[in-house]
Chains A and B, each alone.
Chain A
Amino acid sequence: MRELRGNQALCEALAQEMANDPRVFVIGEDVAAHGGVYRVTENLLEQFGPDRVIDSPICESALVGAGVGAALVGMRPVVEIQFTDLITIAMDQIVNSAAKARYVHDGAMHVPMVVRTLNLGKGSVYASQALEAWFTHVPGLKVVMPTDPHDAKGLLLSAIRDPDPVIFFESKALYAMRGPVPSESYTVPFDKANVCREGSDATVVSWGSTVPMAEEAADRLTAEGVSIEVIALRALVPFDRQTVVESVCKTGRLVVVHEAVRRGGFGAEVVASIADSDAFEHLRAPIMRVANPGVPVPHSAALHKFALPSVDDLVAAIRRTMSYD
């Protein structure tokens, strides 16, 4: 099958859905004339014109608030927040305006809006935060984190067609990753995790940019005769708890890896979902979490590795679980 990079797959999803549905429009900083800082909106202006591909001022709060308003009257906005650290500015509009509109109107109104943003990963203190867990705490929001180009396209199409607000986290790793992408329009459902590889000794759960790390760790351990099941969550809300529970029932061991800070990270929710499920009695080892230890991501390259989880950390954690019988 034809291969695309993640940013191209996302761009194709936008273009196809804009062609398919005249209600869809794109708004954000540098998205129109420039085609997006990371080329996710390349050539959309040329194809769909300035009424549907809009370069905005720097105004994250107004962008999301206006997205909510447009969605309430029947449009399908796709709002771009240039990177995740900036979504903090729009929190009120996301948490109070977007997430609550359906509820307070008792279903008479709803907000079919997508807020796309980007986890930059290792950058600096203000350009590297992974904040997905915050949004999972707010009823009314869906939280989606694609890993590869195929899912990126299908999940974005699902997000645009979704009747409720979706916070859609992309990553630089995804933009750079090449992979097979069908050329027609297709959707990938949020609520089915991707079992990237099957295994019998331990389960590794991950999402977004740490999935490739989980696969690398699995490769290394396979060489040592340890069989790892790697599960990539496609969404955190809705969370495909069943797939994780079934896997842990089989393997008896669980390691969760994410880029975000461990304390209060979504990993804690994954762990809790095992603690209060039937999988609990199948556990053969303590559950491990591999994550940011609770520090801002520093600028100095010499310090990155102490703030961000690495394949080595993950391999070490899996070995620890394997040391229990």
Chain B
Amino acid sequence: MLDQPAKSLTDCDRVEMCRLMVLSRCFTKQALTWHAEGRVPQGLHPSVGQEAVGVGACYGLRAGDWVLPSLRTSEAFWTRGVTIRQQLHAMCGTAESISGGKETSHHSGYPELGILAGTGIVGGSIPVATGVAMGLRMQGTDHVMVCFFGDGAANRGDFHEALNLAAVLKAPAIFVCENNLYAQTVPASVAMTITDIDDRAAGYGMVGQIVDGQDVEAVHDATQTAVARARCGEGPTLLECKTYRFMPHYPVFDEDRPQEERDRWLARDPIQILANRLQLSGLLDEAAIDQMAQAVRDELDSAIAQVEAAAMPDPEQVFTNIYAIKSERMTS
């Protein structure tokens, strides 16, 4: 049985989680503006409104643990230590991009920070996460895998196969569903007859839990409990984080979501929720939050200047790392 309690958060941790959420939001908004202006060629799937999920779930993971972000989990990158400059390089496809210009920021991996690259195929990472967890266990480590995906991905066959297999293998995986109620334009209520994806955990004999995805401390707490169970061999967990994206799916998507629903969720802004708490505890005031945002904006300004001055990748990049050995015979 589990005897270690989940690691509790210090005041410093709580302030840092607030900073990470602010960082994520400022980055997303600025990057989208630059994208609209044509300065940054890649758009992104904005996580605004959902910041608590990635920050809460990744915060406090150890070196040696792995995460697999969804197309929207920018927070997994920030929380594990990716810099603003690195993500801008990836978006602009410069020579300094972590993939050498091969992939977009959201499908990039940072192996040294324990971040694997997810593919563009929604849900395709879930079986991979099961395999990573299985491998970590076979190697005798107590490391875990935290895998993020949306409500839409939870309707894919890959979700079913991967969760069942993970349960059978007692794989140390934490499956974090970012249930933001939509898959592009299709409401979850159209795509499934249940309200709670958590219901599915029982079908795999897996522990499942519904989590308030707007409350970063609740997400952190639930994840750490699942992580502790996974580390001592008690198997995987499905965490369903109820959340909402405050912006369209992607810049070019027009949208028609009910105003009442939007208002209800906008009133539950994850940054506000934590900030209010920190203010009540006297840990932070509004000025301090403004300072956090200003620091991000300053970093963004200096980063974009560096990225715009950066060299573009050598054409050779197109032909490298398709195979271990580059050979004329392998292309053409």
Contacts and interface: CB of A to CB of B under 8 A. Distances in A.
A306 B93 CA distance: 14
B252 to A, nearest CB: 9
A56 B331 CA distance: 38
Contacts of B313: 300, 302-303
B202 interface: no
Contact of A29 (B42, B93, B101, B183): B183
A57 interface: yes
B101 A58 contact: no
Interface string B188-206: 0011100000000000000
A302 B97 CA distance: 13
Contacts of B152: 57-58
Nearest to A298: B102
Category for how many chain A residues contact B: 35 or more
B156 A299 contact: no
B332 A58 contact: no
A303 B191 contact: no
A299 B155 contact: no
B153 interface: yes
B155 A296 contact: no
B158 to A, nearest CB: 8
A57 to B, nearest CB: 4
A125 B102 contact: yes
Interface of A: 29-30, 33-34, 37, 55-62, 85-86, 88-89, 124-127, 262-263, 293-296, 298-303, 306-307
18 contacts: A30-B184, A59-B155, A88-B121, A124-B107, A125-B102, A125-B107, A295-B322, A296-B102, A299-B99, A299-B102, A300-B93, A300-B101, A300-B317, A302-B93, A302-B312, A303-B313, A303-B315, A306-B318
Which 6 A-B pairs have CB atoms at the shortest separation, nearest pair first? A300-B93, A126-B120, A300-B101, A302-B312, A57-B155, A57-B191
Given A57-B191, A296-B322, A303-B317, 20 more contacts: A33-B190, A34-B184, A58-B122, A58-B183, A62-B157, A85-B120, A89-B121, A124-B104, A126-B119, A126-B121, A299-B93, A299-B99, A299-B104, A300-B92, A300-B102, A301-B93, A303-B93, A303-B315, A303-B318, A307-B318
